[in-house]
């Protein structure tokens, strides 16, 4: 079987730190050198005091799969980058935080190597991603009534399932944003981090509709070597158990807005999600 996997390019690629990145076939099928970023032109720009967006990233690199093998993950550069480009083009400012202030991990194997706009973005934000703020400190000091923030942004990548869904500080931030009528933006696996908002009083997104990366697709990806094994848990299943209605069945360009939550289904949705999130924030500013 191993010989056949190598022959067809479905063998996950071993990394220097003992984990695995996607196979050659998976990279060919699921990534691209360019994106569909539409240029981010807006006829208006962010107004008023609430012009900042808090982007909460994972600082963890490895997901341990059900078979014990490690998947090299982090924040997906397209799912993170295209919405950032849209927000910045409309005059919003983005602050980067991770749970403890450790560097934000990026799935470099998914970086669109010939997309000038995305490459420039990551060069511009290199310092912020390497030395982000601390979500823990933010939760202690910045949950105020006169906050300059318009939204909390949870970028995609399987890394959103690491260290965020059970993070108490993130739970405080999400509940604060919800109570203060701020927007929350989450794409692909990013909605997994919304699980942090569950507490003894329930789940603030009970009854919401969301577009997310489907569990059924995650179940299929090991066949092409995208991951070195099956997922250790299913975030869509857990959201559904808490009363969420997932509206998409495919990893497609579906985007959705329900009250003050904006979600997107996959990397294919990144541009449309970024535009929907940005126009939504502009309309509210």
**Which residue matches tokens 């250790």?**
232
Q: Residue range 263-271: average pLDDT?
A: 98
Domain count of the fold of the chain: 1
Residue 270 lies in a domain: yes
- Name the band, by pLDDT with cuts 50, 70 and 90, for residue 250: very high
Residue whose C-alpha is closest to residue 23's, from 228, 226, 231: 226
Residue 172 in tokens: 């405080």
Bridge-partner residues for 54, per DSSP? Answer: 95, 152
Inter-residue contact 175 to 153 (CB < 8 Å)? no
**Does residue 244 lie within any of the structural domains?**
yes
What's the DSSP call for residue 106? B
The whole-angstrom separation of Cα 22 and Cα 256 is 29
Which tens digit of pLDDT belongs to each residue from 37-85?
A: 999 999 999 988 899 999 999 999 999 999 999 999 999 999 999 999 9
Residue 47 lies in a domain: no
Contact 277, 262 (CB under 8 A): yes
**CATH number where 169 lies:** 3.40.50.880
Task: Answer whether residue 45 is part of any domain.
Answer: no
Mean per-residue pLDDT of the chain: 96
> How far separated are the first and last CA of the chain, in Å rounded?
57
User: Which residues have C-beta within 8 Å of that of residue 280, sequence separation ≥ 6?
Assistant: 183, 257, 262
Tell me the two tokens of residue 128.
């912020």
DSSP secondary structure string for all residues of 137-148: HHHHH---TT--
119, part of any domain:
yes
In 13-91, the DSSP E strands lie at 13-14, 20-21, 52-56, 62-64, 70-72
Radius of gyration, CA atoms only, the chain: 18
Q: What is the pLDDT of residue 285?
A: 84
By annotation, the residues acting in catalysis are 188
Q: How confident is the model at residue 6 (pLDDT cuts 50, 70, 90)?
A: low
User: How far apart are alpha carbons 71 and 66 in whole angstroms?
Assistant: 11
- DSSP-based three-state secondary structure for 202: strand
Question: Span 223-239, mean pLDDT?
Answer: 97
Q: Which 3 state secondary structure label does DSSP give 207?
A: coil
Answer whether residue 42 is part of any domain: no
Rounded to 5 degrees, φ, ψ at 204 are -65, -15
Domain assignment present for 41: no
Smallest CA-to-CA distance from 264 within 72, 39, 82 is with 82
pLDDT, tens digit, 9 for 90 and up, residues 117-143: 999 999 999 999 999 999 999 999 999
What pLDDT, on a 0 to 100 scale, did the predictor assign at position 9?
Answer: 76
> Does residue 105 sit within a domain?
yes
Q: What's the domain range around 68?
A: 2-35+52-284
| Confidence class for position 3, pLDDT limits 50, 70, 90 | very low
DSSP class of residue 190?
G
């Amino acid at each position: 079987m191993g010989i056949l996997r190598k022959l067809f390019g479905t063998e996950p690629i071993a990394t220097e730190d003992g984990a695995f990145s996607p196979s050659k076939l998976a990279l060919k099928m699921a990534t691209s050198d360019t994106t569909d970023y539409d240029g981010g032109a807006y006829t208006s720009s962010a107004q008023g005091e609430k012009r900042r967006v808090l982007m909460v990233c994972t600082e963890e690199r490895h997901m341990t799969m059900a078979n014990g093998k490690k998947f090299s993950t982090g924040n997906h550069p397209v799912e993170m980058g295209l919405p950032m480009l849209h927000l910045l083009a409309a005059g919003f400012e983005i602050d980067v935080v991770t749970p403890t202030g450790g560097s934000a991990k990026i799935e470099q194997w998914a970086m669109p190597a010939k997309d000038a706009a995305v490459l420039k973005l990551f060069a511009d934000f290199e310092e912020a991603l390497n030395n982000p703020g601390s979500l823990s400190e933010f939760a202690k000091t910045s949950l105020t009534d006169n906050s300059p923030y318009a939204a909390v942004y949870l970028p995609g990548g399987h890394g959103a399932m690491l260290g965020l869904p059970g993070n108490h500080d993130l739970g405080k931030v999400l509940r604060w944003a919800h109570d203060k009528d701020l927007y929350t933006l989450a794409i692909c696996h990013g909605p997994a981090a919304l699980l942090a908002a569950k507490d003894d009083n329930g789940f603030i997104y009970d009854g919401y509709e969301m577009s997310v990366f489907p569990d059924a697709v995650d179940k299929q990806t090991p066949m092409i070597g995208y991951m070195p094994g099956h997922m250790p848990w299913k975030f869509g299943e857990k959201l559904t158990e808490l009363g969420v209605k997932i509206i998409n069945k495919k990893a497609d360009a579906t985007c959705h807005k329900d009250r003050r939550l904006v979600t997107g289904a996959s990397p294919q949705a990144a541009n449309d999600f970024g535009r929907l999130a940005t126009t939504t924030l502009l309309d509210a500013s």
